[in-house]
A and B are shown apart, each in its own frame.
Chain A
Amino acid sequence: MKPQLVAINKIQPNADNPRLIKNIKFKKLVKSIEDLPSMLQLRPIVVDEDMVILGGNMRYKACIEAGLKEIPIIVADELNEDEKKAFVIKDNVSYGEWDWDILGNEYDFESLDDWGMDLPSDMFREDVDYSILDDEDFEDELDSMEGDVRRALQIPFEAEHYEEAKELYKFWVDSGAYVGGMILEYLKEERKKAGL
């Protein structure tokens, strides 16, 4: 089946096509068509006998955006209604997976990105230069801040002791004492006394 060139306004988009395209990807598709228009000849838009698109809805929109007046099509006039519905979906299903080793070794990622491939962001991350940290001295500041980290333990009291414990805690805190250190010393001493 040979493609034929027709005026773009003769073709109708398929209102039942459930595929969507986001703005950034659409721009990439437009650029891809502008950069390599001959690909349309090799992979034409597929339409039914009423010139409604079965395959290539997004490319059709991108061709309009790219300013094309004529585009190559193939008319699939032998399909029944069920087959047309199946074609719309099957034409968009991708079964394969990418071999990232081959992509990494044989292609450059910026071109792949330009061609519309969905690449993880990290592929474009430049190596970060850590050498500036060698020129600056932060050690004292780091040590001092590390030393000022405080963490809390919850110590349960019997209800009858709670108010007294609270009052004593407040007394020592207000006096500027490090209550955590006082408790620690007491507990260490008691353990020593118990020979444990």
Chain B
Amino acid sequence: MQRFDIVPQAGAQRDLATQLHVLKRALRSGGQRLGGVIPVSQIRAYANLIPRFGQCADARLTASNSFKHSREFFLNKYFDKNSYFPLSL
């Protein structure tokens, strides 16, 4: 498992305009990605992330690399109606 952490936005938990959480990869001080082994039973739900494109999306992005090359992501609560409610809490 690789870990993603919530990035506080201007003191709030979510981005103010979209009301979505902003996430980024957790890194060690040396720059390696932070992760670990956990039991499957700790998984609770599927989550969907959308790369945070910002003002201008990089034209080199494709469906297969957009994930790897993006630094920040929106945790997309609108992905399904079931996780919408817990993620809006």
User: Are A and B subunits of one complex?
Assistant: no
Binding site for A on B (CB under 8 A): none
